Amino acid sequence: MSDPILIDSLDFANQRRHMAGAIALVDLPRTHDLLAHTEGELSWSLEGGKDALSRSTLHLRLAGEFSLVCQRCLTPMPFRLEADSTLTLFTNEARLESACEDDDTLDAVMADPAFDVLALIEDEVLLGLPMAPRHAHCEADIRPVGSGKPNPFAALAALKRKPE
């Protein structure tokens, strides 16, 4: 697993810093149960800045190919993830709660001098992956209902029809 990437989130945003990289999917352990395999990597970029209200923000972009397990046929299926999210930073919990009440679309977090960028990336991946991935059209061997063995209750139906 990769070492954590820690930043002072408020300083990073206020100085409008930028960082980017790629992370191997194997280094995102919370996603492993959702993936058919962990080969490949995810490209990411993080940019600090300010929003229209001069609040400090972190803007995260993700792009990568995942191999998920189709929940219909249980075979691997490709999935392209492209995520673009902005987190607004707050230094006061009361202001954070007030801002979230005023704007229900706001993604807000408390500023942290040891903000874990890899944890943020993994969180955004988990939010971006479908809960029950499915192919548009599965090629699974699906037999229609009623094929195969005869119905064990068919004999009862025959007895019911016999006149006495």
Element (H, E) at 77: strand 76-90
Q: Is the pLDDT of residue 122 over 70?
A: yes
| Average pLDDT of the residues of the chain | 89
What is the C-alpha to C-alpha distance for residues 127 and 70, in angstroms, rounded to an integer?
18
Q: Coil, strand, or helix at residue 122?
A: helix
CB half-sphere exposure, 10, CA atoms < 13 A: 9
What is the C-alpha to C-alpha distance for residues 80 and 128, in angstroms, rounded to an integer?
10
The confidence band for 46, taking pLDDT boundaries of 50, 70 and 90, is: very high
Read out DSSP for 83-103?
EEEEEEEES-HHHHHHHHHH-
Q: What is the pLDDT of residues 24-36, one digit of tens each?
A: 999 999 999 889 9
Q: Is the pLDDT of residue 18 over 70?
A: yes
